[in-house]
Amino acid sequence: MIWKSTTRLSTMVLIAVMSTALIAVGPSGAQAQPADPNIVVTLAGTGVPVVVNIPNVATPGACFQTNLFNTHTGALVGTGIDCIDIVGVDLAGTSFSVNRTTIFQFPQGQLVANGLTTVVLKFGASSPAFTHVVGDADSAIPNIIFGTGRFRNATGNVRLSGIVDLSSFPGTVGFNCIFVIDLD
């Protein structure tokens, strides 16, 4: 008799736990959460000089192409081209501003963003293969200027944070840069 009561109680507890789990992960919970509009990619590797010609899109300065990876998984997802034009240097010569046009080439389409980036000489022993830290300060300014395929008529902002090796510039540039593509 005790065995039947224990079995019945165990069965009821199991059913209650499974019901709770199904309610927690049921379709209504999944449908209520919108998809994240951010795409996070890493431009990494040695960028080699390329000539870029996109109709109606000015690409200032020197352009360098390398691999583009999914930051989360590390999977190769396309190529990236970073075009940089130095527009200002501080008096000490340790930092400068560049007009940056970045072209993301995915199998689903191409996306182009343009904006100002700060480049600062890197100090310290971390990341010895890189010479400068780079980043965009203002992510509130929409800077997507062109798109094709999935990104046709896309709007939003692309923000950069990373490190680069400019020791061989303008011959090549070493990249390890994270881009957050925030589509509207």
Q: Can you give the pLDDT at residue 35?
A: 54
Single-letter residue type at 36: D
- Asked if residue 120 and residue 67 are part of one domain, the reply reads yes
Q: Which is more confident, 65 or 55? A: 65
Q: Can you give the pLDDT at residue 125?
A: 72
Q: Can you give the pLDDT at residue 127?
A: 79
At residue 108, φ and ψ (nearest 5 deg) are -85, -10
Q: Report the CATH number at residue 83.
A: 2.40.480
pLDDT digits (tens, 9 = 90+) for 134-156: 998 766 678 899 999 999 999 99
What total of structural domains would you count in the chain?
Answer: 2
Residue 18 has pLDDT above 60, yes or no: no
Residue 144's Cβ-side half-sphere holds a number of Cα atoms within 13 Å equal to 20
- Asked if residue 100 and residue 140 are part of one domain, the reply reads yes
Which of 150, 175, 151 has the alpha carbon at shortest distance from 162? Answer: 175
Residue 4 has pLDDT above 50, yes or no: no
Token representation of residue 68: 């583009």
- Asked if residue 147 and residue 73 are part of one domain, the reply reads yes
- In angstroms, the CA 41 to CA 68 distance is 6
Residues 166, 154 contacting (CB under 8 angstroms): no
pLDDT digits (tens, 9 = 90+) for 29-39: 445 455 566 89
Provide the mean pLDDT of the chain: 81
- Asked if residue 24 and residue 42 are part of one domain, the reply reads no
pLDDT digits (tens, 9 = 90+) for 102-136: 999 999 999 999 989 999 998 877 778 899 999 98
Residue 9 has pLDDT above 70, yes or no: no
Residues 71, 42 contacting (CB under 8 angstroms): yes
- Asked if residue 102 and residue 18 are part of one domain, the reply reads no
- Asked if residue 99 and residue 20 are part of one domain, the reply reads no
Single-letter residue type at 3: W
- Asked if residue 74 and residue 42 are part of one domain, the reply reads yes
Distances (CA, A) of 39 to 33, 139, 148: 17, 14, 16
Q: Can you give the pLDDT at residue 49?
A: 95
Q: Which domain holds residue 24?
A: 2-32
Residue 25 has pLDDT above 50, yes or no: no
- Asked if residue 173 and residue 158 are part of one domain, the reply reads yes
Model pTM score: 0.77
- Asked if residue 60 and residue 20 are part of one domain, the reply reads no
